[in-house]
Chains A and B, each alone.
Chain A
């Protein structure tokens, strides 16, 4: 049974701070790791799709890394802004199209 875990569950940071979250996933039969940003009442927005061990992806102030051997991915936000406040979800797939989601990290950036 696949189990994807995210930590922390929630955090508050001050505007301008940098922060990072963790997504842990089973490393066996790994296929892809997806990160989404989800604001209340909106659709989850796809941030990154990562497949290769050592992958690093970047979009503006947000970046992510992937370690498939040990089964974790980090999401980094540099210089957090209030508009970064959202829930960040990760989902793992293992050779099928089915996503297994973590419970998310709720980020609140205080102005």
Chain B
């Protein structure tokens, strides 16, 4: 149980285009999902918290107009990198929170974005 999928696993795009990444909880409902970014040799850094049916909460320094998050259902959150530039190239990974207890998070496999 508690499986999270993420699609695509890898994407290469031209500068100026937009890229959408999907995160799905396959066997549980997730009212809260999270989006992280990891640069080489650094830790996973929280970008934003996505709540079903409401606006996402962004961490300091993360541009909300650049990284659009939609959490339209209890099993799906999407991250759209708008007008991508080479500096947006990174590894993006989502997680879904299992409510109750110690609020454990279950992670997708991540998406490697390369912007040319």
Contact B9 A103 (CB under 8 A): no
Complex interface: stretch among A13-21, A42-50, A59-67, A75-83 = A42-50
How many residue-residue contacts, CB under 8 A, span A and B?
A: 48
Enumerate the 7 nearest inter-chain pairs by beta-carbon distance, A residue then B residue, closest first: A101-B43, A101-B44, A44-B107, A103-B43, A43-B109, A32-B102, A97-B103
- Partner-A contacts on B (CB < 8 A): 3-4, 9, 32, 34, 36, 41-46, 49, 97, 101-110
Q: A49-B102, A97-B49, A97-B103 are in contact. List 20 more A-B contacts (CB 8 A).
A: A34-B104, A41-B9, A41-B109, A42-B109, A43-B3, A43-B106, A43-B107, A43-B108, A43-B109, A44-B107, A46-B104, A89-B44, A97-B97, A97-B105, A99-B34, A99-B44, A99-B105, A101-B36, A101-B44, A103-B41
